[in-house]
Structure 1
């Protein structure tokens, strides 16, 4: 019964053999060459099939551009909250969906212009000699290649391959909707003239040749109508960042396969942002102008009526008489002055009431007019109203692009704090204005009392003149304020300036990273076989080296035998000067020394066994016996592997009679002995396979056969069954003077050596030695042993021509 410790895997793998691993790598160099070839070929194919990617960039600077016409009287202020806030707002805007939608729609980048390359469709925007004008309210064939072939400078053929499909999709860019449409299937072909409107159920456009285009006849191009939202999403990937050393400088970077498209998009997106920012900057002035215009329209009618009333009153009257009264003129001027002061106060109160109503009932303050239209020059009120307009406009813009509730809450908190301050300012200002208004009213009442002492015509003239002068003064004031607002608006400039616009000056290639792909290919080409070899070495439980045997057992190694050098197992006889023959001669010498040490006389018996079938037990038996026979010693090989008889084929004899026939009493010893063509070497084959091989080998007839063979031969070689599979070899060990256990390189399991150790310790196998068979010196199994230069010159070996040498020799012939 075998113990589990006989097959202890960890006992045989207590340390990693780095030296053996290194030689294993060297021996498998062809794997590395093959792996590197595959990975480099794959990298090459990846590189040539990838479209080149380019990177373009532009620089802009954000500044506080104050209006040179701004004065304390103008009171039209606009501020984005300082440069740092502007920069963050600009970065957010450039990456926002709404802004990129404006740019994409303006440039119509959802229309792709392509050209067939060797491995892919190349983005040919800017290179194609034409462009198409589409009606955005009409549906266009969605996500389908449309082939344009120019037949002449004035005609082209439009081709579409619908395949077997009878339906397609149309995209309408006015509202970005996709609808189905029926098609006839197959390939659609039709010839159109340049500048002719294409009116098909699935296409509505006009193809126009660029003025600079030439030599485009017989050229083929493709167009494709892509999804608008996906196109916008691609351009939202624009990289926008601030300079680490100058926070007011913003860097825009964009990557793509078409440099012309990248340059155009970068410059256009900045220009659009400048326009939007300048429009926001002019919002305050526009609100003021709009408010004044509406007021002036109303005032024009009032002043016209006042003027007509004054003219009617003066008809048929002596104007000089009405105006010659010095006291009356002074009184009239005093009342007109009081009226103007009262109107100014009333306009301020009316503006504060309007502002309060906005603050309490609405949330959109972007339409508020400037406080200056009412003559309010309080810096706190003017500044806070300006901030409130800006915050309201920014919040409205972000609501379409940002879904961050925290950002909106920050806007709301800041706007709420400004509203509270403004409401307090309104309350205090209205209180002061009410006091001033009461004083003016008292002065007007007093002056009107003085005027009541004048003649009736004089009083009426003063009344009509007061009304006219008031309307005229108000009208003039509003005209002055409107002119100020127009000056401010005309003088406003954007806070965004190009520091370095995008430009194609050559280069800019970002990918594919061919060098990185090749480096990665080299890394993988080495790593994959290295890992495979490492795993193979790690899980390899075979005996590969002498060191493996020495680690596993204290049983001595009697010799090392290489692979056979002939087609048959008779390697020693066929090539007696080979290194293999010398190996067996060395084993013979070791056996003779062992017999001499044992003071053994007469016939010597050696048993050859192994762990399992396939380790070369029969090969070693034949060649060891041949070595004895070549030294003129009468030798016999006895085939005792009754289950798998093999020893007869190489000697060209039959297996009709053998050991089995002798053991069952059918034949005598002389009848089962067969001579061979090798002098002094006879063979007794196993004979027919018996049903009870173990019982036959344990019978008394076996003892008699051994005794008879001892009387006839000098050396008896017993080819026995594997000791690891059956117990037959153990029964035969009692007849033997020496036992040779055959271990084959790369075949014998390390755990089987534990089996042999155990049997040796129990005394079941005595005088045992290990023969290391099938050793190869090509480094594949861990170490490179060989006979060196001396061996190569001394021995006669079959030299196998390398394949590459054969090719060279054939080429020379």
Structure 2
């Protein structure tokens, strides 16, 4: 028995496909509604589909070394091969800093619009004017400004401000500000080419063509700076072909010209940056030489003036020939001494720089001061190369990457080599300087033997020669650096710049939105039907009853809209009447054999009120009466009497009066107007209905009725609410348990199953009431469309009334 109960309970969790399909049919209106709404939304979205354009360019990343110089030529260093250049270029193109440079140069934070029916179209370079913003002041942020061309020289700006202040953004300093604006509607006229200086707007608007059409209106605003920068970081870059040093740059968007300008400007900025990096060495050398030339030029002018002054005041004749040898030798020694001192100073400065700085890419070449020592030049070259390599990798790697530790170790090793070379070079230079100083002393001693005036002249001439020689060397070095700078070429070369070659772009397939709308339109009703079926806890079909209980189903009663419960009396040929006749026939098979020829008592009950037990009781009693059997309908529901309304009888006397011994049985039995059918009403509602039903007088009443009638139909209280029905069941030969379609919950049958399993109810059967005959209900219950011509059916309602009732039922259903 317990195993059977488990089997029954397990069946209750099975998903009911039949109910799911029936609910889908009932939700036909929801299908139409959802498909209509989704289709309308898809149509609306399709109006916003913009044409997507694409632009691309090809660039080459090569190691373009200076063809005029080699690694041994004074100022030129070998910067290395193409290793990591491609990767570095890709990272630079996608970096925030690079995007900022391009956006600022093109002022892409200024947006141009042409008003459309559904959205504003990006009108960059489609407007007859161009806006140049002053980035040194804050500009009105995000608010649209309308511009209307009045004539060839004049235009009108207008805007609407909701308050006296508005948001502003300082594009130079990248910060937000609050600006004063004219509250309300504002408009003002200006001329093309004139500077516009307002508290919230400082721009210059120029015409893009000599002649423009008048009357046109456009919008422009200052947009989100960082949002614009971040949007261009998504530029697509890939080697073409894979593994090569040729890069394909591509962008997609709604404005082709904006894409073209960004790609081309982006390449120009990277090319310019690479060239500046390569020229950094020459530029720093030129700056060093220029600073030295300023001082040297002053010294040269002074020595030249001193020489001229001495010649004007001196009486010496042929001074040059008299001391030319001494002067030439001493000048050569002084120049050589000055060169040694420059080298010593360079070493001191280089050593100090290496100890105090971290960027070694701007170190001056040793050749600037005449140092031709191979080990020093090679070490400085290696140091600069490592420094540049480290800076390039910083674009693509984290600062704590292992490669940086390796490069730093190499840099420190090179610095140690340079320190050792400086130490040994300083020792040799100091020895050379000491020897030179001794030679200078010898020549100076010989010069001291000359007359004082001649000594003075030689001294002035010697100073002039030295200053002139040093000045000439510096000028030569500067010319060499300028030549290196001019001959340098960028490692970035544009092969194929982005260009508008025609084509209308691509447009997203609008049919996809309609397909999605169709799927959504079907998915929502199907999901709703699935959910409603899943959470539906009501009984709908005979199969539901068979799954939930082992109690047999004796009959099915169709749905009716008759005004009263007397449908068998009023329409004896209807399908409802035939259903009750079928129940009457089936009852013969469930009686006790001992009562086959005596009076039969049938109890009608249900789970709760409203399931149709009174309707079933009245019509079943009527069926028995119409078949010629003496029948009495007894209202045993002392708590909620109902039968009297249908027979138009006052409920002043009934079972409750008899049970308290207020009157006799004959006094409470009344005719119904239907042949062979009497009725015994419930009577006034007593304060203790359960106790009255349990009295011996109740049993005597039923025993007396069995002597007088063939069939006794007992309309009892709901079994699931009160215990009265169990007391009455003791007197019944059969029990009919009424279940109403779509009203009785599945869990309500647990009570009757429990009573049945405990044998507290005998000969019990289910009656499925108020069944919608338009469905398929299984096992031959109901007649459906096949009864036409055999029964007197109700007149069909109009379509409008049926739809109205359907909607009302759906919204009122639980």
Distance 1:527 1:755, change over 3 A: same
Q: Which residue of 2 aligns with 1:373?
A: 368
Q: Which residue of 1 aligns with 2:17?
A: 19
Which stretch of the first structure deviates more once superposed, 288-297 or 613-622? 288-297
> Residues 648-707 of structure 1, C-alpha deviation per residue, up to 9 Å, x if partnerless?
333444434443444455555555444446544443332332333334434455445434
How big is the shift at 1:765? 1.7
The question of whether the paired residues in 2 share the 8 Å contact of 1:636 and 1:716 is answered with: yes
Whether contact under 8 Å (1:197, 1:204) holds in the other structure is yes
The Cα of 1:609 is off from its aligned counterpart by: 0.8
- Per mean C-alpha deviation after superposition, the further-off stretch among 184-193 and 230-239 is 230-239
Distance in 2 between residues matched to 1:36 and 1:281, nearest whole Å = 65
1:83 corresponds in structure 2 to: 82
Q: How does 1:35-54 map to 2 (within 5 A)?
A: 35-46=34-45, 48=47
1:322-721 to structure 2, matched below 5 A, reads 347-377=342-372, 381-382=376-377, 384-386=379-381, 388-389=383-384, 406=400, 414=407, 417-428=410-421, 431=424, 434-435=427-428, 438=431, 477-503=473-499, 505-506=502-503, 521=517, 525-564=521-560, 566-595=562-591, 597-598=593-594, 600-664=596-660, 669=665, 671-676=667-672, 678-721=674-717
What residue in structure 2 maps to residue 202 of structure 1?
Answer: 200
User: Would you say the 8 A contact 1:9–1:541 is kept in 2?
Assistant: no
The number of residues matched between the two structures is 792
**How does the TM-score come out when normalised to structure 2?**
0.81
Whole-Å separation in 1 of the counterparts to 2:634 and 2:671:
12
Matches of 1:131 and 1:436, distance apart in 2: 64
TM-score w.r.t. the length of structure 1 is 0.81
Structure 2 residues not aligned, in runs of 5+: 805-814
1:615 Cα offset (Å): 1.5
Equivalent position SS for 1:245: coil
Aligned-pair distance for 1:183? 4.7
Deviation, 1:162, is: 2.0
Report the equivalent of 2:807. Answer: none
- State the partner residue of 1:63: 62
Moved more, 356-365 or 638-647: 356-365
Q: Which residue of 2 aligns with 1:287?
A: 284
Does the 8 Å contact 1:338/1:440 carry over to 2?
no
Higher relative contact order (CA 8 A, sep 6+): 1
Contact 2:275/2:489 (CA < 8 Å) preserved in 1? yes
Q: 1:357 to 1:727 in 2, by over 3 A?
A: closer
Query: What's the CA shift for 1:613?
Result: 0.9
Give the equivalent residue in structure 1 for 2:809.
none
Whether 1:245 aligns to 2:242 is: yes
Q: Please, what is the CA RMSD of the aligned residues?
A: 4.8
The secondary structure found in structure 2 opposite 1:204 is: strand
With over 3 angstroms needed to count, the CA separation of the structure-2 counterparts of 1:403 and 1:422, relative to structure 1, is closer
Look up the SS of the partner of 1:246 in the other structure: coil
Inter-partner Cα distance in structure 2 for 1:396 and 1:63:
18
Q: Report the equivalent of 1:731.
A: 727
Tell me the alpha carbon deviations over residues 341-389 of structure 1, each in whole angstroms, 9 at most, x when there is no partner.
7766655444333322211233454542223323445566445535655
Query: Structure 1: which 5+ residue stretches go unaligned?
Result: 808-813
Partner of residue 810, structure 1? none
- Matches of 2:448 and 2:752, distance apart in 1: 150
Question: 1:546-584 CA deviation, whole Å, 9 max, x = no partner?
Answer: 343334332222122232253433344444444433332
Q: Distance in 1 between matches of 2:530 and 2:779?
A: 15
- Name the CA shift for 1:476/1:188 in 2 (closer, same or farther; >3 Å): closer
Task: Measure the CA separation in 2 of the matches of 1:151 and 1:309.
Answer: 73
Distance in 2, Cα, partners of 1:637 & 1:675: 10
Aligned partners of 1:785, 1:83: CA distance in 2, in Å?
A: 88
- Corresponding position of 2:114: 115
* Alpha carbons 1:342, 1:437 under 8 Å: kept: no
| TM-superposed deviation, 1:792 | 5.7
Please report how far the alpha carbon of residue 59 of structure 1 lies from its aligned counterpart in structure 2 after TM superposition.
4.5
Asked if structure 2 preserves the Cα contact closer than 8 Å seen for 1:23 and 1:779, the reply is no
Deviations 1:238-261 (A, max 9, x none): 555667922634454556554432
More displaced 10-residue stretch of structure 1: 112-121 or 797-806? 797-806
Q: Is the 8 A contact 1:384 1:418 kept in 2?
A: no
1:484-526 Cα distance to aligned partner (Å, 9 max, x none): 3333222222112335544455466587x86666565555555
Q: Which has the higher mean CA deviation after the structures are superposed, 627-636 or 518-527?
A: 518-527
User: 1:741-756 to 2 correspondence within 5 Å?
Assistant: 741-756=737-752
Residue in 2 aligned with 1:278?
275
| Residue aligning to 1:770 | 766
- Report whether the alignment pairs 1:160 with 2:159: yes
